[in-house]
Amino acid sequence: MRDYGFGIDLGGTTCKLGLFEVSGKLLEKWEIPTNKEDNGSHILADIAQALKDKMEERGLTVEQIQGAGIGVPGAVTPDGWVNKCVNLGWNDKMPIEAELSKLCGFPVKAANDANIAALGEAWMGAGKGAQSLVMITLGTGIGGGIIINGQILTGSNGAGGEIGHIHVDDTEEEVCGCGNKGCIEQYASATGIVRMAKRFLARDDRDSSLRSIENFTAKDVFDAAKAGDEVADAIVTEVCGRLGSMVAKVVNVLNPEMVLLGGGVSKAGQIIIDKMRPAFKAEAFHACKDTKVNLAVLGNDAGIYGGVGLLLN
């Protein structure tokens, strides 16, 4: 019986691994470093070895493994290739599914990491039971993953759900990492929030606890707002308002069952949802105004859950 599966979340620094029952129960998770030397040519062998070691330790045979699902920080084609991935040192196309499958002896499926995290939340997280959802990952940047009919919306060239680069400001003069100007990522990501806060503090004379923190973070801004700092509250209101406006646009396109907010910034908690709701309500189409917006729950495990979800999908 093929009762077990591996979920793999391959990042530029570490690779998270999870052993699951195919029912969705996480039995064990661990990490290995991502070795980017020699153009990342050791990465897949290292993963295969880690999985083999775990199977040996647990006395599992290849016949008991349904397969592995892996998320990578880049676009994955429908036939399982990664088109260049600088974060992993891969400068050429990599047939990741075929290659890792050959090394492991069981089937492997691959998908973009933001998409696979969305699938993880849809399968076993805050979206359990939902057939459609949008997951927005508020980290250093803003990533997104879209699930429709229980499946990842990959997009015609792997850019489905790249909602961090939705344009929200015509007056922006600084350039976003993507090359455009005025992307939501410039305002509501961790770096965007700090940028907005610095701008705000420069044009506002009021006292604020943020002025005494040399290199404050997005978390500092939320903490100050929660502690009653008026200026920080105004900053949070502004960035969350922009986020709510962006979420309304996405919801007006897709009409999903729910929207989930994940990533480091979302650890600020309910304040984000409360502060984004007015703009969301104002701009969502009437049939979508009651769309649930919740916090993701799987945290850093969303990717390994999604890997196994992909395998079973």
Q: Which residues bind to a copy of itself, rule: CB under 8 A?
A: 75, 131-132, 146, 148-149, 151, 153-163, 165-167, 178-182, 245, 248-250, 252-257, 282-288, 291
181 is written with which tokens? 């100007």
For residue 71, count other CB atoms closer than 10 A to its CB: 30
Task: Report, in Å, the least distance between residue 159 CB and a copy of itself.
Answer: 4
**Angle 300-302-306 from CA coordinates, rounded to 5°:** 145
Shortest distance, CB of residue 74 to a copy of itself, whole angstroms? 11
Q: Please check whether residue 137 is in contact with residue 117, taking contact to mean a CB–CB distance below 8 angstroms.
A: yes
Q: How many other C-beta atoms can be found within 10 angstroms of the C-beta atom of residue 55?
A: 20
Of 151 and 300, which has the nearer Cβ to a copy of itself? 151
* Min separation Cβ 241 and a copy of itself, Å: 10
CA atoms within 13 A of residue 276's CA, in its CB half-sphere: 28
Determine phi and psi for 225, rounding to 5 degrees.
Answer: -60, -45
Residue with smaller CB distance to a copy of itself, 45 or 287: 287
Identify which of residues 166 and 304 has a Cβ nearer to a copy of itself in the complex.
Answer: 166
Cβ distance 192 to 239 under 8 Å? Answer: yes
Q: Which two tokens stand for residue 60?
A: 């599992």
Least distance (Å) between residue 211 CB and a copy of itself: 29
Helix (H) or strand (E) holding 136: strand 133-138
Whichever of 65 and 146 has its CB closer to a copy of itself, that residue is 146
Q: Measured from the CB of residue 269, what is the shortest distance to a copy of itself in angstroms?
A: 25
Dist. CA 108–CA 97, nearest whole Å: 5
Q: Which is nearer to a copy of itself, 248 or 293 (CB)?
A: 248
Minimum Å gap between C-beta 166 and a copy of itself is: 5
Query: For residue 183, with 0-12 CB atoms within 10 Å meaning exposed, 13-18 middle and 19 or more buried, which class applies?
Result: buried
> Which amino acid, residue 116?
I
Specify the residue, 43 or 117, whose C-beta has the smaller distance to a copy of itself: 117
